[in-house]
């Protein structure tokens, strides 16, 4: 992974601190004012070939071998699936030390999938403290090729269920969000949008340089959700208090990185409430978009409407995903 000095990141990355937010009504599932595509339009659907055997709705323990490593995962097939229509697919990535099952409970994504009719694959990382080869994360010692794993898993899933290949998404938390940033940069040919929750694009090294995710290969719609009180991935950047004690780049840095990569112009649409503030950059290249939710009482967790955040990350993420396709 290429290292860069901190001098390469000018103060323009702090632009978010200059944004004044307009006050609006609190909602746990905010929906920015963007016209959503019609998911039934054949012009917007490029799908895999339907498998000959139709898997029934439910939850399945599955596995594939990637790079010589057996990779288990959990697959949720929504209640409305009958094999006659291709459905979107969401990959969910856990944080360091977590697992696929923990994300089922934390996100409540299965209920959303049943409501909106999409597949969810909850993936497991590798290593003694399971995580992802993000290219920027210190101390985990993970060397498997997780980018190749996602490619191979998508190809495998397309043999199991009828996937709409124009609507494949990734949602990651913490270390899984670091990986989500990397996948957004490297898999723009496969992914339609990415969500990162409590993540970063860069970590400071011992020599003072920054280890960053790669330069994006193409525009990528991305939703960034970070808690303003996160003690691990610090909202304004700096050393965290987690077990890894790493120093991360700020949320403003991440937004500046992605708005530049996506060629966004103009000022963002803004919204704020007691629970969150948001900045939505919609005038971006290739139909991409950069949407930031800053959670006022957010800490290092997946925000929920009924929790301390008073904000549903799952609802916000699906609202965002549902209006982006390849």
Domains and CATH numbers, the chain: 3-22+56-321 (3.40.50.1820)
Please give the Cα distance from 124 to 236 (Å, whole number): 29
Please give the Cα distance from 300 to 162 (Å, whole number): 35
Mutual orientation of helices 175-186 and 146-157 as an angle, nearest 10°?
A: 80
Mutual orientation of helices 100-107 and 109-116 as an angle, nearest 10°?
A: 70
Report the relative pairing of strands 58-66 and 3-4 from DSSP bridges: unpaired
Please give the Cα distance from 225 to 199 (Å, whole number): 8
Residue 37 is predicted with a pLDDT of 39
CB 153 within 8 A of CB 185: no
Query: If you search the block for the tokens 């959303």, which residue do you land on?
Result: 112
Residue 12 DSSP code:
G
Residue 97 is predicted with a pLDDT of 94
Please give the Cα distance from 168 to 121 (Å, whole number): 11
pTM across the whole model:
0.85
Residue 157: phi, psi to the nearest 5?
-65, -30
Residue 252 DSSP code:
H
**Tens-binned pLDDT, residue by residue, of the chain (326 aa):** 434 443 343 333 333 333 333 333 333 333 333 333 343 333 344 566 799 899 999 999 999 999 999 999 999 999 999 999 999 999 999 999 999 999 999 999 999 999 999 999 999 999 999 999 999 976 678 999 999 999 999 999 999 999 999 999 999 999 999 999 999 999 999 999 999 999 999 999 888 899 999 999 999 999 999 999 999 999 999 999 866 678 999 999 999 999 999 999 999 999 999 999 999 999 999 999 999 999 999 999 999 999 999 999 999 999 999 999 99
Residue 130 is predicted with a pLDDT of 95
Residue 243 is predicted with a pLDDT of 64
Please give the Cα distance from 281 to 284 (Å, whole number): 7
The H or E element containing residue 148 is helix 146-157
CB 301 within 8 A of CB 319: no
Give the neighbor-by-neighbor strand order of the sheet with 3-4.
3-4, 210-212, 202-204, 247-248, 238-239
Please give the Cα distance from 94 to 270 (Å, whole number): 29
Q: Which of 22, 86, 81, 94 is nearest to 55 (CA)?
A: 81
Residue 218 is predicted with a pLDDT of 95
Residue 137 is predicted with a pLDDT of 75
Residue 46 is predicted with a pLDDT of 55
Please give the Cα distance from 137 to 123 (Å, whole number): 18
SS3 of the chain: helix, strand, coil, percent, to 5: 25, 25, 50
Residue 25 is predicted with a pLDDT of 32
Which segments within 39-96 are labelled E, that is strand? 58-66, 69-77, 87-93
């Amino acid at each position: 992974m290429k290292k860069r000095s901190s001098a390469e990141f000018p103060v323009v990355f702090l632009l978010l601190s200059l944004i004044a937010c307009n006050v609006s009504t609190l909602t746990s599932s905010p929906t920015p004012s963007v016209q959503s595509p019609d998911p039934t339009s054949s012009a917007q659907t490029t799908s895999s070939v339907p498998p000959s055997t139709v898997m029934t709705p439910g939850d399945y323990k599955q596995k594939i071998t990637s790079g010589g490593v057996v990779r288990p995962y959990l697959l949720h097939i929504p209640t409305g699936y009958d094999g006659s229509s291709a459905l979107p697919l969401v990959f969910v990535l856990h944080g360091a030390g977590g697992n696929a099952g923990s994300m089922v409970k934390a996100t409540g994504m299965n209920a959303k999938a049943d409501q909106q009719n999409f597949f969810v694959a909850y993936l497991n990382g590798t290593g003694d403290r399971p995580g992802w080869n993000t290219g920027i994360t210190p101390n985990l010692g993970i060397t498997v090729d997780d980018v190749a794993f996602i490619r191979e898993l998508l190809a495998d899933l397309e043999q199991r269920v009828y996937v709409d290949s124009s609507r494949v998404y990734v949602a990651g938390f913490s270390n899984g969000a670091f990986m989500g940033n990397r996948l957004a940069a490297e898999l723009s040919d496969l992914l339609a949008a990415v969500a990162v929750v409590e993540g970063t694009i860069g970590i400071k090294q011992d020599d003072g340089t920054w280890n960053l995710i790669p330069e994006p290969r193409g525009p990528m719609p991305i939703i960034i959700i970070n808690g303003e009180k996160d003690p691990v991935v610090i909202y304004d950047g700096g050393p965290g208090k987690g077990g890894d004690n790493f120093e991360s780049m700020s949320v403003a840095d991440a937004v500046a990185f992605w708005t530049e990569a996506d060629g966004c112009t103009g000022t963002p649409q803004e919204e704020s409430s007691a629970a969150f503030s948001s900045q939505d950059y919609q005038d971006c290249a290739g139909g991409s978009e950069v949407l930031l939710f800053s959670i006022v009482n957010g800490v290092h967790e997946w925000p929920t409407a009924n929790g301390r955040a008073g904000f549903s990350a799952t609802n916000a993420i699906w609202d965002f995903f549902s209006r982006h396709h390849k």
